[in-house]
Chain A
């Protein structure tokens, strides 16, 4: 089954304690992204990756790091989490573009993070 998986699904942590949210896709997609979703603000892109070892900042990258060492995995790292990073996080992937058209983007189930 084609899917994007995220772990953990729920996490409560304290300010300053480093954490990693994993993301994996089994569709051999080139493009992967991380979003955060906050009430009234919609989905905002944190980082994206166009292929292995190729990453770039989205709209809200401050306080986050990513890496893309393998095509299937795209972990999100919070080196020193703060309460304003409490949010619902989604990982997404897509194949790329075909004939100039953007392929469908598939989302993971989400990770609800609370930073105390």
Chain B
């Protein structure tokens, strides 16, 4: 069964304190792995898509990496405005439309 597990559930950091969020996945042939940011009361906002092991993508203070079993979202020198819930999702190669989400990591950055 395809599955996505994110850890930790919640993470509190000091401004400038770098860290990583983990997304472990089990899928029968990966078509794509996605990272989203979600602010309270809003819809998820797309960040990255990764397609194959070894791939990396960056955007401002965020960098996403992918292996055959997991993905990491690295946050370098975070700022309070990076506080949000970060969601990971996967799509199997066998599926045209089904996308499975993890339950998210709630990130809080203290000034």
Contacts and interface: CB of A to CB of B under 8 A. Distances in A.
Interface stretch (B13-21, B39-47, B58-66): B39-47
Q: How many B residues touch the partner, as a band?
A: 20 to 34
Interface in A41-66: 41-45, 48-50, 56, 58-59
Given A42-B104, A101-B49, A33 B99 contact: yes
A110 B87 contact: no
Residue of B87, B96, B99, B104 with most chain A CB atoms under a 10 A cut-off:
B99
A110 B41 contact: yes
Given A42-B103, A59-B100, A101-B49, 5 more contacts: A43-B89, A59-B98, A90-B43, A102-B34, A102-B91
Interface of B: 31-32, 34, 36, 41-46, 49, 51, 87, 89, 91, 96-104
